[in-house]
C-alpha cells in the first residue's frame, strides 16, 4: 500500500496513510546515537533533514487531528491534539543561523514528529 511522506497531495478520502516508517527514519538521522550537544552533523545535512522533517510534520498533522476526532473523548486524543498544537508552534519558529541552533531546532522537530507518529498509531492509524 502506498504511503505519504513530505510530498504535496490533494485532500480526499482516498489518500494513502502517512509513511510512519520513513518519518521515524528521518527523525532518527538527527536523533541517532551521536545527538549530544557537542556532536554536530554537517550543516548541509542539518538543513536538508530539517526541511524533510518540516514536510513530514505538515503531512501527519491533519492525520493526527482526524484520528483524534473533532470532539476528543479520551485522554489519548487530548494528548494527541496538544502535541499537534506544539508541533504547529515549533513550525513557526525560525532558528538562529548558527549551526548549533539549527541542529537543536531540527532535533526539536524530530522529537515532536516521533511523538506525533506515536499518537497516530495509538489512535488507530495504520502501522507500516
What domain range is 108 assigned to? 20-31+38-122
Tell me which residue of 114, 115, 96 sits closest to 46, measured CA to CA: 96
Chain centre distance of CA 33: 19
pLDDT tens, residue order, the chain (128 aa): 455 555 444 444 567 889 999 999 999 988 876 656 666 777 778 999 999 999 999 999 999 999 998 888 899 999 999 999 999 999 999 999 998 899 999 999 999 999 999 999 999 875 44
* CA-to-CA dists, residue 84 to 4, 58, 64, 104, angstroms: 18, 10, 7, 20
Domain-located, residue 77: yes
Bridge partners of 18, per DSSP, are: 4
Say how many domains are in the chain.
Answer: 1
Domain-located, residue 60: yes
Position 126 scores a pLDDT of 58
Domain-located, residue 84: yes
Position 1 scores a pLDDT of 45
Domain-located, residue 2: no
The string of DSSP letters for 34-51 reads T-STT----HHHHHHHHH
Domain-located, residue 127: no
Domain-located, residue 102: yes
Position 96 scores a pLDDT of 94
Domain-located, residue 9: no
| CB distance 125 to 63 below 8 Å | yes
Domain-located, residue 3: no
| pTM greater than 0.85 | no
Amino acid at each position: 500500500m502506498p504511503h505519504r511522506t513530505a510530498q504535496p497531495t490533494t485532500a480526499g478520502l482516498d489518500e494513502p496513510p502517512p509513511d510512519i516508517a520513513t518519518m521515524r527514519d528521518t527523525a532518527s538521522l538527527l536523533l541517532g546515537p551521536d545527538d549530544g550537544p557537542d556532536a554536530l552533523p554537517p550543516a548541509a545535512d542539518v538543513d536538508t533533514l530539517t526541511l524533510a522533517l518540516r514536510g513530514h510534520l505538515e503531512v501527519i498533522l491533519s492525520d493526527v487531528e482526524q484520528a483524534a476526532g473533532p470532539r476528543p473523548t479520551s485522554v489519548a486524543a487530548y494528548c494527541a491534539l496538544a502535541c499537534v498544537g506544539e508541533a504547529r508552534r515549533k513550525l513557526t519558529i525560525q532558528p538562529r543561523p548558527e549551526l548549533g541552533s539549527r541542529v537543536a531546532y531540527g532535533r526539536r522537530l524530530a522529537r515532536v514528529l516521533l511523538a506525533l507518529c506515536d499518537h497516530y498509531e495509538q489512535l488507530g492509524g495504520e502501522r507500516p
